[in-house]
Amino acid sequence: MNNAITYDLIAALPEIFVLCMAMVVLLVSLFLSARTLYVSYILTQVTLLGAAFITVSTHIPAVGYAFNGMFVDDPLSDILKLMIYLGTSMVLVYSRSYIALRGMYRGEFFALVLFAMLGMMIMVSGQHFLTLYMGLELLSLCLYSLVALDRDNPRSTEAAMKYFVLGALASGMLLYGMSMIYGATGALELSQINAALFNGMADRSVLILGLVFVVAGVAFKLGAVPFQMWLPDVYHGAPTAVTLLVGSVPKFAAFAFVIRLLIQGLQVLTVDWQGMLIVMAVLSISIGNITAIAQTNLKRMLAYSTISHIGFLLFGFLSGSMNGYISSMFYISAYVLMTLGGFGMILLLSRKGFEAENLDDFKGLNQRSPWYAFLMLLLMFSMAGVPPTLGFYAKFTVLQAALQAGFVSLVIFAVLMAAVGAFYYLRIVKLMYFDEPQDHAPITPSPDMALVLGINGMAILILGLMPQRLMELCAYAIAHSLQ
């Protein structure tokens, strides 16, 4: 018994550490003056570093279950957690100056970010309906609060209300679907559900209805059509620092959520959820790309871009193969890196009383700063899928997986829509290099932001030229976890 308790605590040690440090950050911030608020930022970054150290130290290339099968510790969860730490750290570096100029540099901002990250970590390691749902709700509630953190901004408050109402509806649908699957199989643990389905012990009609609600709930969290209506308004209305968080790191948790639910728990129903994913993928790619063309606000354009990227991500899942799941993990890693860089550029050009969120704000950027114009060019090329950037290889891998699964017509459609989507990305490149600047204010980032943004942009190019290491990491995580 003692050995079991010890293993449970070791398996969940990163989560326990982050939980304790989030409360420390919240308490310490109460005693900090305006001049010493940077201590909260430093403590948060130390928390991420400590959690990464614990995760690496306790890593083994095997699957272990803790808390009576409710929690799983495997290579997939460890690698995704490390990616979450890195992404969250980059979010904080990019956001620091922005939130300081807008009165949001407070302890509750950093505490909410840590609690949101804790929810992602629980989702990544969830092996039970209750664990997955608890992690999802913890993440969602923190994001609702962060979107509304700028209380004097009516646009932020409106975005938070929309996000909360639609998010609550999606959570209800997900919970209802889970309850129906529980009623059909008599199990809440994913491995037991899979075993019950494999042995034909479930009522199929109830099961399929439950599956529909579960897929709908998952699609909302991903932002896939027809559950994408919250994305543009939340991206546009939230403070850009919060939009950066909402649009990037939680996608790792959403990816893990799909893997745990659909692949590990409901793999026997692959044919059933495959059809739903096909419809969502086609609609997401087409609506996302076509609607993005009409946008003049960069944050809204990136929101519709996200919808189309989710469509490409689903191509890996709907292939129903190990190669497809590896490709999807590679794609989500590339997407998060591109999104961090894209919103990082918006934060770079923003200053007190000015939000650089319109396309015109990027006019003539090459004349103001050739280096940052080049980084933005790499990011836009990557999002468009132009070789030799990371985005091209990411799109190539998921489409190759779908092609191997026999979805030839879908792949042709996706390639055509990617060509359509390239227009609105290349439009930004044209504005930066061929138009006269409307704003001549100097670009003065903090040294840490300049360094991280430069590394982020160059990583898009280097990983595009040499994607093998990242692909091997994704293959290791999937192959050693989906047994």
Secondary structure in 3-state letters for 262-331: HHHHCHHHHHHHHHHHHHHHHHHHHHHHHHHHCCCEHHHHHHHHHHHHHHHHHHHHHCCCHHHHHHHHHH
Q: Greatest CA separation found in the chain? A: 71
Convert the pLDDT of each residue in 107-132 to its tens digit. Answer: 889 999 999 999 999 999 988 899 99
Convert the pLDDT of each residue in 209-251 to its tens digit. Answer: 888 999 888 888 888 888 888 888 889 888 889 999 998 999 9
Convert the pLDDT of each residue in 144-167 to its tens digit. Answer: 999 988 877 888 888 899 899 888
Does pTM surpass 0.85?
A: yes
Closest residue by Cα to residue 147 from 236, 239, 254, 222: 239
Convert the pLDDT of each residue in 374-418 to its tens digit. Answer: 999 999 999 988 888 998 999 999 999 999 888 899 999 999 998
Does residue 1 register a pLDDT over 60?
no
Closest residue by Cα to residue 375 from 352, 399, 347: 347
> How confident is the model at residue 104, as a pLDDT?
82
Does residue 435 register a pLDDT over 90?
no
> How confident is the model at residue 333, as a pLDDT?
93
CB 71 within 8 A of CB 125: yes
> How confident is the model at residue 369, as a pLDDT?
85
Convert the pLDDT of each residue in 282-306 to its tens digit. Answer: 999 999 999 989 888 888 999 999 9
Most confident listed range (43-57, 90-104, 183-197, 254-268): 43-57
Does residue 319 register a pLDDT over 80?
yes
423 CB contacts (<8 Å, ≥6 apart)?
293
> How confident is the model at residue 2, as a pLDDT?
64
The mean pLDDT value for 264-291 works out to: 88
**Cα–Cα–Cα angle for 384, 389, 395, rounded to 5 degrees:** 55
> How confident is the model at residue 483, as a pLDDT?
64
> How confident is the model at residue 105, as a pLDDT?
83
* pLDDT band, very low/low/confident/very high, at 4 (cuts 50, 70, 90): low
Q: What percent of the chain has pLDDT over 70?
A: 98
> How confident is the model at residue 479, as a pLDDT?
87
Both structure tokens of 150? 């700028």
Does residue 202 register a pLDDT over 70?
no
> How confident is the model at residue 386, as a pLDDT?
87
Both structure tokens of 268? 């026997």
The mean pLDDT value for 345-370 works out to: 83
Q: What mean pLDDT value characterizes the chain?
A: 88
Both structure tokens of 249? 């790191």
- Give the separation between CA 382 and CA 145, rounded to whole angstroms: 32
CB 75 within 8 A of CB 480: yes
> How confident is the model at residue 84, as a pLDDT?
94
The mean pLDDT value for 267-281 works out to: 86
Cis amide prior to 226 (ω within 30 degrees): yes
> How confident is the model at residue 201, as a pLDDT?
67
